[in-house]
A = this chain, B = another copy of it.
Amino acid sequence: MTTTADQTAQRRKPLSRNRVLIAAVHLADSDGIEAVTMRRLGTELGVEAMSLYNHVANKNDLLDGVVDLIVDDINTRVALASPPTGSDDWKRAMRDRILAARSVMLDHKWAPSVIETRASLSPAIIGYFDGLLGVFRTGGFSYDLAHHALHALGSRAIGFTQELFEESGSDDTMTSEQLKQMVTSFPNIGEMLEVVSHDGPDDTVGWCDDQTEFIFGLDLLLDGLDRARLAES
């Protein structure tokens, strides 16, 4: 005689570390990273929360594994990018890699917040940075300057920036009263908002377009680094 529990057990594939990690990524994608609890992830896999401990050491290990999956994705996309052909091409190659990493981050908006909390680096991410370092070297950077360069890029090197302003600028529906208040309290920001709202939405580069701002900052840094490289040699 077959109970429903038996049927469920037969229907589902056996659990594995990889299945757990993939389920965690899907759960974070659909319901946000705060939904990724051991209990919730268990029910998502049709299993008790405690069963997960057979495949991951603890929640920290789970998140480490999740980040590994994300970085693996980055590395496979980066592998498709063409390597730098010489010192006049390093900027393009670096840009391609970083924007490939960014495309992965845009697919998993929660990933930056998880990456930030990781204590140590996995081989996957060390490999990614090793690749970036290789691009700098082909570009003619000394190890010393390349090292500074990686620090200067910071999290931008793997495709994200810390956005301090939550995108309140998305709908620019500020009452004229609020705006007047803003102008008196914060004259510069107030006037900036006035100028922007006057020029309209299809202005220059778009108001707070994350991708545009990311690329602006990235190119600013890459151009600066290229100048530092030339000054060095």
Contacts and interface: CB of A to CB of B under 8 A. Distances in A.
Interface of A: 113, 115-116, 119-121, 123, 125-127, 129-131, 133-134, 137, 143-144, 146-148, 151-155, 157-158, 161-166, 168, 185-189, 191-192, 195-196, 203-205, 208, 213, 216-217, 220-221, 223-225, 228
Given A133-B192, A187-B130, A154 B163 contact: yes
A77 B201 CA distance: 37
Copies in the complex: 2
Contacts of A191: 143
B185 A123 contact: yes
A160 B14 CA distance: 45
- The dominant DSSP class at the A interface is helix
Contacts of A224: 220-221, 223-224
A26 B205 CA distance: 44
B130 A186 contact: yes
Nearest to A123: B185
